Amino acid sequence: MADIPTTTGPTGAGRLGKRGHPMLSALRREQRVLWGGGFIALLVLAALFAPLIAPHDPLEQDLMLSTLPPISWPDAEPGYYLGTDDLGRDVLSRLIYGTRTALTVAVIAAGLAAVLGSLLGLAAGWFGGWTDRVISRLVDIWMAFPPVLLSVLLVAVLGSGLHSVIAAIVIIDWTRFCRVVRAETIAQGSMDYVTAARTLGFSRLQILAKEIAPNIAPVFVALLSLEMGIAVVVEAILSFVGLSVSSDTPTWGGMIAAGRQTIHHSPWVLAAPLVMLLLTVLSFNQLGNGLRRALDPVMRR
């Protein structure tokens, strides 16, 4: 009898190595993740290497160079690519250093708000009963206040400074995470896999930590990215009214406030931070929406 040739196909690990992880493949295919994440990555690099990238000292004043136009305009001065403000400070350098303040607030404030709100949302959605009633009523009361007005009031009470801005954002925006996570927890708690976990003898905390929390991670990540964009806007608003960091520290909101006074004869001072603020918020929003689609197994199909 002739021997039957046998061939061994690639193992599961080999196939996975060739195709890549489905989640990573979905992230690479999602254009919003690539564009939004790419722009945010550039901002992070600019913030980290600001002393090396910025062409001038952002605090250096020279009234002889006041309101110089950008490099492509007539009467522009070499080396001042985006022009100068009314005090002769380089707009590009202040824009780059302002990235540090914006990203610091975005990461820390959004992260703390996400942790606080998500823990409360998990507790309310999973344990229910009086825990859900107390947390839900607290969220309803807290969301009755206008967020921008409440943030201005909190910073005025706490005092100006970066720590006050972060605290105000956390105190206000934890409710957004709490409501979304609570709703997702209730929805996931009715799924068959939770019933199976109960049948296997898992405790309530084990089911919450090992089964439900990983399944709401896509929503959490997307909401966190969106919240970072909101935090950047709130910081700019507080800087605009002079309630953020000191006036010497470059911030996009402070640049907008300064540019508003000279908009008629030097519009570039106002336009540069406005464009940067718009692109940053748009990038965070696109990144959040893209991550939501890429990380959710249902939406990947």
pLDDT digits (tens, 9 = 90+) for 106-165: 999 999 999 999 999 999 988 888 999 999 999 988 888 887 788 888 887 887 788 888
Distance in Å from the first CA to the final CA of the chain: 48
The type of residue at 247 is S
Task: Check if the beta carbon of residue 268 is closer than 8 Å to that of residue 69.
Answer: yes
CA distance 223 to 217: 10
The DSSP code sequence of 14-35 is HHHHHH--HHHHHHHH-HHHHH
Token pair 């030097």: residue? 266
Of 11-20, 32-41, 42-51, 232-241, the range with the lowest mean pLDDT is 11-20
Average pLDDT, the chain: 83
DSSP-derived 3-state class of residue 84: strand
By percentage, how much of the chain surpasses pLDDT 70? 88
240-276 pLDDT tens trace: 887 877 777 899 998 998 888 888 888 888 999 999 9
Task: Check if the beta carbon of residue 126 is closer than 8 Å to that of residue 204.
Answer: yes
Going by pLDDT thresholds of 50, 70 and 90, the confidence category of residue 297 is low
Q: Is the pTM of this model over 0.85?
A: no
State both tokens at 198: 């109960």
159-169 pLDDT tens trace: 778 888 898 88
Going by pLDDT thresholds of 50, 70 and 90, the confidence category of residue 77 is confident
Q: Which residues are within 8 A (CB) of 183 and not within 5 positions of it... i.e. 6 or more apart?
A: 125
What number is the average pLDDT over the span 207-235? 88
All structural domains of the chain:
48-300 (1.10.3720.10)
At residue 156's C-alpha, the angle toward residues 43 and 141, to 5°, is: 90
Say which DSSP state 90 is in. Answer: B
Is pLDDT above 70 for 199? yes
Going by pLDDT thresholds of 50, 70 and 90, the confidence category of residue 217 is confident
Task: Check if the beta carbon of residue 85 is closer than 8 Å to that of residue 58.
Answer: no
